[in-house]
Amino acid sequence: MKVTALLVKITASLVKVMALLVKVTASLVKVTASLVKVTDSLVKVTASLVKVTDSLVKVTASLVKVTASLVKVTDSLVKVTASLVKVMALLVKVTASLVKVMALLVKDQRPVVFWTLAPTAMKLLVFTLCLLASALAAPVAESDSNEDKVRLP
């Protein structure tokens, strides 16, 4: 009988331990379910971040292309500006030569030739002065590098 009573006590204790294990297992199931929900949310957030990153990569690629185009346009504008500076320098030289010729004509008292050339020379002089004034009024682009800079006279 003592053995039976002892076995009953041991069995009762084992039932209590098993009940505790069932409760612990139920708690672990709940925690696992919560972890599954959190993992699912993290997967969705990661997918969204991948989409955003993909969009940012595409936008960056587009910006690189636009920047390359702007560099080409700027290079062309620098070349055109340099050519315009050369043309303006030539116009200044031509105008100076015409003024010298007109001065010589006035000095030699040849009014017919002077009055024939005067309107053209005056128009050219005014045009050159207007070009110079607009060039001097325009801002000169400064760069941070030590590359050749185009400066207007």
Domain-by-domain residue ranges, the chain? 7-137
pLDDT (average), residues 134-146: 59
Q: Compute the distance between CA of residue 103 and CA of residue 84 in angstroms, rounded to an integer.
A: 28
**More confident of the two residues 108 and 42:** 42
Query: What is the value of pTM for the model shown?
Result: 0.48
**Alpha-carbon gap, residue 68 to 16, rounded angstroms:** 77
Region 100-128: what's the mean pLDDT? 71
Encode pLDDT of 22-80 as tens digits: 999 999 999 999 999 999 999 999 999 999 999 999 999 999 999 999 999 999 999 98
Going by pLDDT thresholds of 50, 70 and 90, the confidence category of residue 140 is low
- Residue 139: DSSP 8-state: P
Answer whether 134's CB lies under 8 Å from 152's CB: no
